[in-house]
Structure 1
Amino acid sequence: MDEVSHRKGHRNFATVVGDLEAGRRLEVIDSHQQLAIIAALEQQPIAVREQIVEVSVDMWGGFPKVVENVFPNATLVIDRFHVMQAASKELNKIRRQVGVFDRGSKFLLLRNGVDLMPSERETLEQLLQRSKRLRKAYESKEELRAIYESPLTVESGSLHLEEWLTRAQKVYSEATATIRKHLEGICNYFRTRTTSGPMEGINNRIKLIKRQAYGFINFGNFRKRLLACFSD
């Protein structure tokens, strides 16, 4: 489950429900309010909803109650992309606070370290030498990524994340507070390593549809267009 706006620049969000295995959209709900989402999803037969075993979501606080009420047999999984995004957002904030505005510095700091070219690593090192705080923040981000890449169980993943939170809270006050709040769902990732990657493809296609239509004022028209475009 994820959210999408009807129109660019507006906060009238809809909730998109997709099938991660099939990589296709299932439903669009004209709300991003907890009770409205529950009411819409409960229109599906309980026999269908009981078959759902995992639901991947971001860290919006309303999703746990939605999953609990609608999908009784499902495990809530916080998508790893949104966890890394929380750390990266604060890392970029720290970059600005310490006065690093070099062209390309944001890209070098936020990109996965293993994906950097040798010349890029050299430039990154030059940036990190200018601030101990920035270096610590960057290294903490990379440590978090490494945890996700490690072959861990839920239990060992929880242990590693707890240790990371203890170290990282000295530099990541906002991100660590958010991650700690959602730690159980975050650790559930290590069960089957489910991510919301297919939803990103669905959302990108929805954004293209919105651009082609210059946005949708009427939700009914928005939903009909999506149903038509995503029909098998």
Structure 2
Amino acid sequence: MATSGFLTHIYAPLPRVKCSECGVKTVEIPWATKGSGFTLLFEAWAVQLAQEMTVLAASRELRISDDRLWRLLRRTVDRAMANQDLSRVRSVAIDETSWRKGHKYVTFVFDYDTKKLIFGVEGKGSDTLKKFAEHLESHGGQVQRIVEFCCDMSPAFIKGIGENFPKASITFDKFHVIKAANEALNKVRVRESKETPELKGTRWAFMKREGNLTDREKESLKKVSLSKKRLQTGKAYRLKTILQEILDAGSTLTLSDARGQLKGWCRWALTCRIPEMKEVAMMIKRHMDGILRWFHSRMTNGLLEGYNSVLRAGRGMARGFRTSVNVILKSLLTAGKLDFGFPQNVWNQL
């Protein structure tokens, strides 16, 4: 602590009492957690700093080693997670993200209704869903009560949900569908740009929505569309744009109309003689029901995409500690909205 600008250390041994049943015990004090070595006020300050800056910078501010701070944070988060109540969880969004080169992934699960991160685990296989189911059951939740999942079209996720959450319907994130169409479009553009100089430097223009294009980008796309070479890139761009309009229609389309339009789009893509767009059409046909589920659930992984910057910051703040445990820990600190149980005033708790 600091007194009048001077660092002050106060040393006081805790009294020990003797009980006929329990033996000799050290008296528990209200301003510190047993075995912590820090006061509750200090722990609360440490957690707040670690949420806002790197652990290394926070440790310097707190004048303790970063390794000791990581232990404090892990103990605090573990305590908050142990008291986690998941009894009201009904709809979840799940996604994997890479945290290190070499196919190192962690899977995050968000409660879709409360918009908070409730679980994180290393890997991205179907076993991650089994681990989440176990975590859910051990914190008051029930797998039978989970009725909606939102995820990408990962076979591992589909398998894991089917094996562990029998009553859950799956909504495939529509942004992943558009992403697949954009990737296919770019492959077509790259292939044709070798013989068509007009296509060079137009990647981001083709990725944008028409309403977001600058005048220069509109002119570039106009040149491509009016080209006498009958470029497949122009046709692929129209396919992507119409697919986006179908999936963005929202309440203006009924489920039946959306199914008809999506089937019509698939027929067009399968006969367009563009192999890259054919692959997208086959993917959509395989996952048609899950993609159309959006018109009922209105669930997207936009929630996770919105937290991506937060989670990326969490991964960045875990640099120097090459373990998935610290990556998950930092992400829970920043996006978990955890209740750490710190009193507002440990000196006056009335």
Same fold at TM > 0.5: yes
Q: What is the alpha-carbon distance in structure 1 between the residues aligned to residue 323 and residue 98 of structure 2?
A: 12
Contact kept? 1:18, 1:24, Cα under 8 Å: yes
Name which of 210, 215, 221 aligns with 1:124: 221
5+ residue gaps, structure 1: none
Q: What is the alpha-carbon distance in structure 2 between the residues aligned to residue 228 and residue 38 of structure 1?
A: 22
Name which of 229, 233, 236 aligns with 1:134: 233
2:202 is the alignment partner of 1:109: no
2:192 is the alignment partner of 1:98: yes
Residue 103 of structure 1 deviates from its aligned partner by 5.6
Residue 163 of structure 1 deviates from its aligned partner by 0.6
Aligned to 1:144: 243
Q: Which amino acid aligns with 2:290?
A: G
Q: What is the alpha-carbon distance in structure 2 between the residues aligned to residue 139 and residue 63 of structure 1?
A: 31
2:181 is the alignment partner of 1:181: no
Q: What is the alpha-carbon distance in structure 1 between the residues aligned to residue 315 and residue 208 of structure 2?
A: 28
Aligned to 2:129: 38
TM-score (norm 2): 0.61
Q: Which has the larger radius of gyration?
A: 2
Contact kept? 2:311, 2:335, Cα under 8 Å: no
Aligned to 2:99: 6
- Residues 212 and 222 of structure 1, relative CA distance in 2, 3 Å threshold: closer
Residue 181 of structure 1 deviates from its aligned partner by 1.6
Bigger drift between 190-199 and 210-219 goes to: 210-219
Report the count of equivalent residues.
230
Q: What is the alpha-carbon distance in structure 2 between the residues aligned to residue 168 and residue 4 of structure 1?
A: 30
Contact kept? 2:173, 2:299, Cα under 8 Å: yes
Q: What is the alpha-carbon distance in structure 2 between the residues aligned to residue 167 and residue 11 of structure 1?
A: 36
Name which of 301, 317, 326 aligns with 1:221: 326
- Residues 216 and 53 of structure 1, relative CA distance in 2, 3 Å threshold: farther
Contact kept? 1:28, 1:223, Cα under 8 Å: yes
Q: What is the alpha-carbon distance in structure 1 between the residues aligned to residue 246 and residue 185 of structure 2?
A: 18
- Residues 47 and 17 of structure 1, relative CA distance in 2, 3 Å threshold: closer
Q: What is the alpha-carbon distance in structure 2 between the residues aligned to residue 57 and residue 194 of structure 1?
A: 9
SS of the aligned residue for 2:142 comes to helix
Contact kept? 1:16, 1:27, Cα under 8 Å: yes
Residue 215 of structure 1 deviates from its aligned partner by 6.2
Contact kept? 1:23, 1:202, Cα under 8 Å: no
Aligned to 2:315: 210
Q: Which amino acid aligns with 1:96?
A: V
Contact kept? 1:6, 1:13, Cα under 8 Å: yes
Q: What is the alpha-carbon distance in structure 2 between the residues aligned to residue 209 and residue 47 of structure 1?
A: 27
Root-mean-square deviation over aligned CA pairs: 2.1
Higher relative contact order (CA 8 A, sep 6+): 1
- Residues 230 and 119 of structure 1, relative CA distance in 2, 3 Å threshold: closer
Contact kept? 2:269, 2:281, Cα under 8 Å: yes
Q: What is the alpha-carbon distance in structure 2 between the residues aligned to residue 70 and residue 108 of structure 1?
A: 42
Aligned to 1:53: 147
Q: What is the alpha-carbon distance in structure 1 between the residues aligned to residue 293 and residue 179 of structure 2?
A: 18
Higher helix fraction: Structure 1 or Structure 2?
1
Q: What is the alpha-carbon distance in structure 1 between the residues aligned to residue 226 and residue 113 of structure 2?
A: 44
- Runs ≥4 residues deviating over 6 A: none
